[in-house]
Structure 1
């Protein structure tokens, strides 16, 4: 669906894009966002992740 980081929306849904971006399953994606490794935002029951925070984490940068 997406080809480069720029193609992803600025705010990512865990169940869709984080799984796809990292190539992991749903359970692993939710474990990761609950791990405290990087900043997430809760909107009601939904968890959102900034694309820039996630990319920075993937690349080994400062998580916050």
Structure 2
């Protein structure tokens, strides 16, 4: 189990986000599909940069989908 941000890999998957935020699977998928931050789709896999997620958590720059 990860204890702090540094323990997580640089590229997160949905299950990492779920654990990091303490939310359910459905909520994690809703979040990554919300457009709140940049995600990378590789086939059916969804990846998020750890730095992008941390910046979003800390209230930093929001992702503009336009």
So what's the TM-score if we normalise by structure 2?
0.92
RMSD: 0.7
How many equivalent pairs are there?
63
Deviation at 1:58, TM superposition (A): 0.2
Deviation at 1:21, TM superposition (A): 0.3
**Cα deviations across residues 9-60 of structure 1 (Å, max 9, x unaligned)?**
000010x210000000000000000000000000010000100000000000
Query: Structure 2: which 5+ residue stretches go unaligned?
Result: none
- Residue 11 of structure 1 pairs with residue 11 of structure 2: yes
- In 2, the alpha carbon distance for the partners of 1:63 and 1:24 equals 21
Moved over 2 A (4+): none
Deviation at 1:62, TM superposition (A): 0.3
Query: Structure 1: which 5+ residue stretches go unaligned?
Result: none
The structure with the largest helix share of the pair is 1
